[in-house]
Structure 1
Amino acid sequence: MEASQKEHRGEVTHLALAPMETRVLSCSGDGSCILWSLPELERIYRLTAHTVFLGGQVLASGEVVTVGSDGSVMVWDRQDGVLLADLPASSKPITTVTASRDDAALVTAGEDATIRVWNWSKGRVTHEGHGHSGSIAKVDLSSDGKVLASVGEDGGIFFWKMPERR
């Protein structure tokens, strides 16, 4: 073991390694997410908001994206954790998020069974996809950003062609 930390006051429910593997994001049932530096595992900052964080992603640019129980998608500054954008996505919890390697596309999904592709810098949804009959548990993009995979409580594994970038 290289290092360990215990700063959350509840169960750790999500972990996301940054693309360059210099940071890791942990989210907890205590309502916080913590961004850590690697390999020393020192806290950079703790995020708290008006939601319970259900997932998150560290973008290639270093910004942090979180999704929450209130259906929001939040983008946080890479340096100090200041909230840059609070994007309302759904009236139901958003449970998963992924991003393309160049951060141009952000994909979210959750309990409303809707996949949303975002241009997060403009704060808008560019495409929506429907196929699952229930909550979507996880989305992930291929390394070239052309294929999206999703899995849901309906037992389905779906593969989607990502839309051309505008």
Structure 2
Amino acid sequence: MKTWQEAQRYCREKHTDLISGLKQLQDEELKNVMNSADKETYIYFGLFRDTWRWSDGSSFSFRHWNNDLNNQQYNSGQCAFAFNDEGRWKTDSCDQKKPFICYNDKVILIKENKTWEDALYYCRDHYHDLVTITNQDEQRWVQEKAKNASTDHVWMGLRYTCTLDF
């Protein structure tokens, strides 16, 4: 028995991830497991409600949160994420000025300090968008580039988009 977040962490550490996608949900082996479970037993799978979005609209399924944050803080109304020196993500207020990373066909570290919104417009005007990270390889690639920033944190294109925190 685990919470959804604990179940996801366990699956990612020991296997790949929680079961997800129509093909996996229709799998015969899953049907057998579900049929053998007690009728009062509920089993988690990988669907969740999320209001974090990348600035370019890309899917936000890859996670690289700072380990000391709990799920409540992920949805605390912060509208942007930044890297810390270990490459993990954390929230910060969008009006803080930090360097940022744009991308086109490659990632570009911009050593000017801007708010998240100003960084977004800068990247869209000069490149393509703020950086989007959808897998561990991209995470490592961007993390290496961020080491050359003038501060401990750099903006990326992730933000909380829930209107009025509903």
TM-score, normalisation: structure 1: 0.28
Determine which structure has more spread, i.e. the larger CA radius of gyration.
2
* Greater RCO, CA 8 A, separation 6+: 2
Larger fraction in helix: 2
Larger fraction in strand: 1
